[in-house]
Amino acid sequence: MLIRVPRGWETPEREATPEEVYRSRRRFLQGAGVGMAGFGLAALGLGRVLDPFAADPPGIANLPALAAARNPKYKVERPVTSERIVAGFNNFYEFSTDKGEVARLAERFRSRPWEIEVRGEVEKPRRLDVDELIRQMPLEERVYRLRCVEAWSVVVPWIGFPLAKFVEWARPKSSARYLRMVSFNRPGEAVGQRTQPWYPWPYYEGLRMAEATNELALLVVGSYGHRLPNQNGAPLRLIVPWKYGFKSIKSIVRFEFTREQPKNFWNVVAPEEYDFYANVNPAVPHPRWSQATEKDVATGRRLPTQPYNGYAEFVSHLYR
Ligand SMILES: Nc1nc2c(c(=O)[nH]1)N[C@H]1C(S)=C(S)[C@@H](COP(=O)(O)O)O[C@H]1N2
Ligand SMILES: [Mo]
């Protein structure tokens, strides 16, 4: 018998429209004393008064500043998306499938202290505190597009260091062909792990070694000039901008170098819909929707999706 698992990408179009964000934030509106009257006002064309992104989402007010020079090599033709959107509209199923609720539900998550484990095909397996690792790495800021498989996208100034630097530091053996990354498993603190036991927690992802050491692959520890907020994957997350967003695993606790291709969470949950490589490709539709265009979450406008999310010059040689 096939058990129907509720899927993350069930309603890609609706989830990305401002109207839907709006609805998913009913509690926000009610909390502001607006309630249904708000929808009446919106219908009268006064919707801007109720803009769900008009206030800062939880979790970004008191983050320690993080200074890093912007690397001008990585340019995006669209403006940077406001942090209110990037930190208020999230996919992070450990907390919620409701993008507008993640920030609030993740606010009290303890993302420090945080231990990182490195194991598998390495000369010396080890564990260390995330800040000890960060201190040894060269931080820079990069503005990257982020394109979710659900067909919405944002532009974010991340702060981090090349995954290639981490790989070098970890000293993998020549037998290492893949890098597997795993997120936390803390159902006591992450309500989505409690209420959605059908998902194969913890979240996990993987890259081929040539992908992991590509210059674009970034381990991210900050955004918008400060430490990464919990909702965006504190204290340490991956960003691989030429792939659909689900490859960019958040809140990593373990790096494992492997000989065999590791499994990845969404491929295990829905193999007919999500593959291992997940490179952004406008010509290959998802089984349930087109990937030809995407919705800019900031403006609601549809934009053409670019091969490899606009990063073909950096990565297309990996897939020939
Ligand atoms: N651990 C973990 N990492 C995750 C996810 C998740 O649910 N859990 N969602 C992924 C998806 S589908 C996307 S689009 C991006 C969203 O990142 P953002 O919320 O910082 O924009 O995170 C990815 N990383
Ligand atoms: Mo996504």
The string of pLDDT tens digits covering residues 43-53 is 334 444 456 78
Mean pLDDT of 138-165: 98
Mean pLDDT of 56-77: 97
- Of ligand 1's listed atoms, the one at least distance from the Cα of 9 is 12
Is 90 a pocket residue for ligand 1 (Cβ < 6 Å)? yes
End-to-end CA distance of the chain: 39
- Of ligand 1's listed atoms, the one at least distance from the Cα of 102 is 19
Superfamily of the domain at 13-319:
Oxidoreductase, molybdopterin-binding domain (3.90.420.10)
For the cut 50, the answer to whether the pLDDT of residue 26 exceeds it is no
What's the full length of the chain, in residues? 320
For the cut 80, the answer to whether the pLDDT of residue 31 exceeds it is no
Mean pLDDT of 219-228: 98
Token code pair at residue 231: 């909702």
For the cut 70, the answer to whether the pLDDT of residue 34 exceeds it is no
> What's the pLDDT score for residue 53?
82
Is 309 a pocket residue for ligand 1 (Cβ < 6 Å)? no
Mean pLDDT of 68-93: 97
DSSP 84-119: HHHTTS--BTTTBS-TTTHHHHHTT---SS-EEEEE
Mean pLDDT of 30-37: 34
Tokens 């058990």 identify what position?
3
Mean pLDDT of 94-117: 98
Mean pLDDT of 66-91: 97
Strands 204-208 and 140-147: unpaired
**Type of residue found at 60:** I
The answer to whether residues 192 and 90 touch, using CB atoms and an 8 Å cutoff, is no
For the cut 90, the answer to whether the pLDDT of residue 88 exceeds it is yes
Q: For residue 149, which ligand has an atom nearest its CA?
A: 2
Mean pLDDT of 182-206: 98
In terms of Cβ atoms closer than 10 Å to its own Cβ (0-12, 13-18, 19+), residue 115 is exposed
Please report which helix (H) or strand (E) contains residue 222, including its range: strand 218-223
Q: For residue 91, which ligand has an atom nearest its CA?
A: 1
pTM of the entire predicted model:
0.87
